[in-house]
Amino acid sequence: MPEASTPNPVDVTLISPVHNEALNLPPLVERVIAVMERYPHAQGWEMILVDDNSADDSWKVMGELAAQYPNYVRIDHHPDRRGQKGCFVTGFAQARGKLSIVMDADLQVLPEELPLLLDKALLEGYEMVCTYNDPERGGRHRGFVSQIGNMFMKVLFKSPVRDAGGNFLAVETRFLRGVQLIENDQRYLLPISVRRGLKKIAEVGCVFGVRGYGKSKYNKWRKTLSGFPEMLALKRRLDEGFYDQPPVEMK
Protein backbone atom coordinates (compact mmCIF):
# COMPACT_ATOMS: atom_id res chain seq x y z
CA MET A 1 0.00 0.00 0.00
CA PRO A 2 1.40 3.45 -0.86
CA GLU A 3 2.25 5.50 2.20
CA ALA A 4 0.15 8.62 2.66
CA SER A 5 1.64 11.87 3.87
CA THR A 6 -0.90 12.16 6.67
CA PRO A 7 0.85 13.75 9.66
CA ASN A 8 1.28 11.56 12.71
CA PRO A 9 -0.28 10.87 15.06
CA VAL A 10 -3.41 9.64 13.30
CA ASP A 11 -6.39 9.38 15.64
CA VAL A 12 -8.96 7.99 13.22
CA THR A 13 -8.88 5.56 10.30
CA LEU A 14 -11.91 5.18 8.03
CA ILE A 15 -12.04 1.78 6.29
CA SER A 16 -14.22 1.29 3.19
CA PRO A 17 -14.41 -1.98 1.24
CA VAL A 18 -14.80 -1.33 -2.49
CA HIS A 19 -16.25 -3.61 -5.15
CA ASN A 20 -17.49 -2.00 -8.36
CA GLU A 21 -18.08 1.43 -6.82
CA ALA A 22 -16.26 3.63 -9.35
CA LEU A 23 -19.07 6.18 -9.63
CA ASN A 24 -19.68 6.36 -5.87
CA LEU A 25 -16.07 6.86 -4.81
CA PRO A 26 -15.49 10.53 -5.76
CA PRO A 27 -18.58 11.87 -3.93
CA LEU A 28 -17.89 9.56 -1.00
CA VAL A 29 -14.33 10.79 -0.54
CA GLU A 30 -15.22 14.44 -1.12
CA ARG A 31 -18.03 14.31 1.45
CA VAL A 32 -15.85 12.50 3.99
CA ILE A 33 -13.12 15.12 3.59
CA ALA A 34 -15.63 17.96 3.95
CA VAL A 35 -16.89 16.45 7.23
CA MET A 36 -13.53 15.49 8.69
CA GLU A 37 -11.86 18.81 7.90
CA ARG A 38 -14.53 20.52 10.00
CA TYR A 39 -14.43 17.99 12.84
CA PRO A 40 -12.41 19.56 15.69
CA HIS A 41 -11.56 16.62 17.93
CA ALA A 42 -9.44 14.35 15.71
CA GLN A 43 -5.75 15.19 15.72
CA GLY A 44 -5.24 13.44 12.39
CA TRP A 45 -7.17 11.05 10.19
CA GLU A 46 -6.90 8.86 7.11
CA MET A 47 -9.22 6.94 4.82
CA ILE A 48 -8.27 3.47 3.55
CA LEU A 49 -10.08 2.27 0.44
CA VAL A 50 -9.66 -1.47 -0.17
CA ASP A 51 -10.48 -2.60 -3.70
CA ASP A 52 -11.78 -6.17 -3.75
CA ASN A 53 -10.87 -7.12 -7.32
CA SER A 54 -13.45 -4.81 -8.89
CA ALA A 55 -14.48 -5.40 -12.51
CA ASP A 56 -15.12 -1.71 -13.20
CA ASP A 57 -12.80 1.32 -12.95
CA SER A 58 -12.79 1.42 -9.14
CA TRP A 59 -9.04 0.81 -8.82
CA LYS A 60 -8.25 3.52 -11.39
CA VAL A 61 -10.55 6.00 -9.62
CA MET A 62 -9.01 5.10 -6.26
CA GLY A 63 -5.55 5.88 -7.66
CA GLU A 64 -6.76 9.24 -8.89
CA LEU A 65 -8.28 10.05 -5.51
CA ALA A 66 -5.11 9.02 -3.67
CA ALA A 67 -3.10 11.31 -5.95
CA GLN A 68 -5.57 14.16 -5.51
CA TYR A 69 -5.81 13.81 -1.72
CA PRO A 70 -2.46 12.32 -0.61
CA ASN A 71 -2.82 13.64 2.93
CA TYR A 72 -5.99 11.65 3.50
CA VAL A 73 -6.53 8.77 1.09
CA ARG A 74 -4.67 5.46 1.14
CA ILE A 75 -5.50 2.57 -1.15
CA ASP A 76 -4.97 -1.16 -1.36
CA HIS A 77 -5.99 -3.78 -3.92
CA HIS A 78 -6.94 -7.45 -3.68
CA PRO A 79 -5.99 -9.40 -6.84
CA ASP A 80 -8.69 -11.93 -5.93
CA ARG A 81 -12.13 -11.62 -4.34
CA ARG A 82 -11.91 -11.80 -0.55
CA GLY A 83 -15.26 -10.24 0.28
CA GLN A 84 -16.06 -7.69 2.93
CA LYS A 85 -14.30 -9.76 5.58
CA GLY A 86 -11.05 -9.70 3.60
CA CYS A 87 -11.32 -5.94 3.15
CA PHE A 88 -11.81 -5.51 6.90
CA VAL A 89 -8.76 -7.69 7.63
CA THR A 90 -6.66 -5.60 5.24
CA GLY A 91 -8.01 -2.33 6.61
CA PHE A 92 -7.45 -3.16 10.27
CA ALA A 93 -3.95 -4.43 9.49
CA GLN A 94 -3.04 -1.15 7.76
CA ALA A 95 -4.88 1.29 10.03
CA ARG A 96 -2.74 3.83 11.85
CA GLY A 97 -5.57 5.33 13.88
CA LYS A 98 -6.31 4.30 17.43
CA LEU A 99 -9.95 4.35 16.34
CA SER A 100 -11.20 2.69 13.16
CA ILE A 101 -14.57 3.31 11.53
CA VAL A 102 -15.90 0.85 8.96
CA MET A 103 -18.31 2.24 6.41
CA ASP A 104 -19.58 1.00 3.06
CA ALA A 105 -18.53 2.81 -0.10
CA ASP A 106 -21.95 2.89 -1.76
CA LEU A 107 -23.18 6.10 -0.07
CA GLN A 108 -25.85 4.32 1.98
CA VAL A 109 -23.78 5.40 4.97
CA LEU A 110 -23.92 9.19 5.10
CA PRO A 111 -20.50 10.73 5.84
CA GLU A 112 -22.33 13.58 7.56
CA GLU A 113 -23.21 11.15 10.38
CA LEU A 114 -19.55 10.50 11.25
CA PRO A 115 -19.36 13.10 14.07
CA LEU A 116 -21.98 11.17 16.06
CA LEU A 117 -19.67 8.15 16.27
CA LEU A 118 -16.54 10.21 16.74
CA ASP A 119 -17.95 12.17 19.66
CA LYS A 120 -18.93 8.99 21.51
CA ALA A 121 -15.53 7.40 20.96
CA LEU A 122 -13.11 10.32 21.20
CA LEU A 123 -14.90 12.50 23.74
CA GLU A 124 -16.72 9.94 25.88
CA GLY A 125 -14.18 7.11 25.70
CA TYR A 126 -16.32 4.30 24.29
CA GLU A 127 -14.30 1.46 22.75
CA MET A 128 -17.02 0.57 20.24
CA VAL A 129 -19.87 2.67 18.88
CA CYS A 130 -22.59 0.87 16.92
CA THR A 131 -25.29 2.54 14.84
CA TYR A 132 -28.96 1.90 14.18
CA ASN A 133 -31.39 3.42 11.72
CA ASP A 134 -33.22 5.99 13.84
CA PRO A 135 -36.89 6.51 12.87
CA GLU A 136 -37.10 9.51 15.21
CA ARG A 137 -34.64 11.31 12.93
CA GLY A 138 -36.39 10.22 9.76
CA GLY A 139 -34.72 6.84 9.34
CA ARG A 140 -36.47 3.59 8.59
CA HIS A 141 -37.80 1.19 11.20
CA ARG A 142 -35.90 -2.06 11.39
CA GLY A 143 -37.24 -4.75 9.10
CA PHE A 144 -38.32 -8.19 10.22
CA VAL A 145 -35.01 -9.77 9.16
CA SER A 146 -33.02 -7.29 11.23
CA GLN A 147 -35.29 -7.73 14.26
CA ILE A 148 -34.91 -11.52 14.20
CA GLY A 149 -31.15 -11.29 13.73
CA ASN A 150 -30.70 -8.92 16.62
CA MET A 151 -32.92 -11.05 18.84
CA PHE A 152 -30.55 -13.97 18.23
CA MET A 153 -27.57 -11.69 18.90
CA LYS A 154 -29.00 -10.79 22.29
CA VAL A 155 -29.68 -14.44 23.17
CA LEU A 156 -26.40 -15.91 21.95
CA PHE A 157 -23.97 -13.06 22.67
CA LYS A 158 -25.79 -10.82 25.15
CA SER A 159 -25.60 -7.95 22.68
CA PRO A 160 -26.40 -4.64 24.44
CA VAL A 161 -27.30 -2.69 21.27
CA ARG A 162 -30.27 -2.51 18.94
CA ASP A 163 -28.35 -3.38 15.77
CA ALA A 164 -25.22 -5.45 16.33
CA GLY A 165 -24.69 -6.43 12.69
CA GLY A 166 -24.50 -3.06 10.99
CA ASN A 167 -21.62 -2.13 8.69
CA PHE A 168 -21.20 1.38 10.10
CA LEU A 169 -19.43 1.30 13.43
CA ALA A 170 -16.41 2.63 15.27
CA VAL A 171 -14.07 0.40 17.23
CA GLU A 172 -10.66 0.78 18.80
CA THR A 173 -8.29 -0.73 16.24
CA ARG A 174 -6.41 -2.81 18.79
CA PHE A 175 -9.34 -5.18 19.23
CA LEU A 176 -9.44 -6.21 15.56
CA ARG A 177 -5.89 -5.76 14.29
CA GLY A 178 -4.48 -9.12 13.26
CA VAL A 179 -7.79 -10.96 13.59
CA GLN A 180 -8.19 -13.44 10.73
CA LEU A 181 -11.93 -13.37 10.15
CA ILE A 182 -13.45 -16.49 8.61
CA GLU A 183 -16.83 -17.45 7.14
CA ASN A 184 -19.04 -14.31 7.45
CA ASP A 185 -17.66 -13.23 10.82
CA GLN A 186 -17.25 -9.64 9.55
CA ARG A 187 -20.93 -9.32 10.47
CA TYR A 188 -20.16 -10.01 14.12
CA LEU A 189 -17.36 -7.65 15.08
CA LEU A 190 -19.07 -6.85 18.39
CA PRO A 191 -18.96 -10.34 20.00
CA ILE A 192 -15.48 -10.96 18.57
CA SER A 193 -14.18 -7.71 20.07
CA VAL A 194 -15.87 -8.42 23.39
CA ARG A 195 -14.12 -11.79 23.47
CA ARG A 196 -10.82 -9.93 23.05
CA GLY A 197 -11.51 -7.65 26.00
CA LEU A 198 -13.69 -4.80 24.71
CA LYS A 199 -16.06 -3.54 27.39
CA LYS A 200 -17.31 0.01 26.74
CA ILE A 201 -20.02 -0.11 24.07
CA ALA A 202 -22.36 2.66 22.97
CA GLU A 203 -24.84 3.13 20.14
CA VAL A 204 -26.07 6.15 18.23
CA GLY A 205 -29.13 6.62 16.05
CA CYS A 206 -28.26 7.54 12.47
CA VAL A 207 -30.05 8.24 9.23
CA PHE A 208 -28.95 6.10 6.30
CA GLY A 209 -29.15 7.07 2.66
CA VAL A 210 -29.76 5.12 -0.53
CA ARG A 211 -27.16 3.62 -2.83
CA GLY A 212 -25.68 6.22 -5.14
CA TYR A 213 -24.92 4.18 -8.27
CA GLY A 214 -24.86 0.49 -9.06
CA LYS A 215 -26.70 -2.53 -7.78
CA SER A 216 -26.98 -3.47 -4.12
CA LYS A 217 -25.06 -6.56 -3.01
CA TYR A 218 -27.40 -7.13 -0.06
CA ASN A 219 -29.88 -9.99 -0.23
CA LYS A 220 -32.14 -10.08 2.82
CA TRP A 221 -33.43 -13.59 2.17
CA ARG A 222 -29.94 -15.04 1.80
CA LYS A 223 -28.92 -13.26 4.97
CA THR A 224 -32.01 -14.59 6.77
CA LEU A 225 -31.29 -18.19 5.80
CA SER A 226 -27.59 -17.97 6.63
CA GLY A 227 -27.75 -15.75 9.72
CA PHE A 228 -28.70 -18.17 12.49
CA PRO A 229 -26.33 -20.99 11.39
CA GLU A 230 -23.55 -18.39 11.12
CA MET A 231 -24.18 -17.20 14.67
CA LEU A 232 -24.18 -20.74 16.02
CA ALA A 233 -20.90 -21.44 14.21
CA LEU A 234 -19.39 -18.23 15.60
CA LYS A 235 -20.50 -19.09 19.12
CA ARG A 236 -18.79 -22.44 18.78
CA ARG A 237 -15.60 -20.76 17.57
CA LEU A 238 -15.72 -18.28 20.45
CA ASP A 239 -16.27 -21.07 22.98
CA GLU A 240 -13.31 -22.95 21.49
CA GLY A 241 -11.08 -19.87 21.82
CA PHE A 242 -10.61 -19.17 18.11
CA TYR A 243 -10.61 -15.38 18.63
CA ASP A 244 -8.93 -15.33 22.03
CA GLN A 245 -5.74 -13.53 20.97
CA PRO A 246 -5.11 -10.46 23.14
CA PRO A 247 -5.60 -6.97 21.69
CA VAL A 248 -2.68 -5.61 19.68
CA GLU A 249 -1.65 -2.37 21.32
CA MET A 250 -1.09 0.53 18.91
CA LYS A 251 2.37 2.10 18.74
The CATH code of the domain that includes 92 is 3.90.550.10
Residue 39, domain extent: 12-239
**What is the three-class DSSP state of 190?**
helix
Model confidence, pTM: 0.90
pLDDT tens, 33-56?
Answer: 999 999 999 999 999 999 999 999
Residue 124 lies in a domain: yes
Residue 156 banded pLDDT, cuts 50, 70, 90: very high
More confident residue, 90 or 138: 90
Residue 3 lies in a domain: no
Residue 82 lies in a domain: yes
Residue 251 lies in a domain: no
Residue 248 lies in a domain: no
Lowest mean pLDDT, pick from 23-27, 110-114, 148-152, 175-179: 148-152
Residues 45 and 124 sit within 8 Å (Cβ to Cβ): no
Residue 56 lies in a domain: yes
pLDDT tens, 58-79?
Answer: 999 999 999 999 999 999 999 9
Domain count, the chain: 1
Residue 172 banded pLDDT, cuts 50, 70, 90: very high
Residue 183 banded pLDDT, cuts 50, 70, 90: very high
Residue 210 banded pLDDT, cuts 50, 70, 90: confident
Residue 6 lies in a domain: no
Question: What pLDDT is stored for residue 3 in this prediction?
Answer: 44
Q: Per DSSP, which regions of 99-176 are E strands?
A: 99-102, 128-133, 169-172
> Average pLDDT for residues 165-173, to the nearest whole number?
93
132 pairs with which residues across the strands? 205
Residue 1 lies in a domain: no
Question: What pLDDT is stored for residue 2 in this prediction?
Answer: 44
Degrees, nearest 5: CA angle 126-218-175: 25
**pLDDT higher than 70, residue 16:** yes
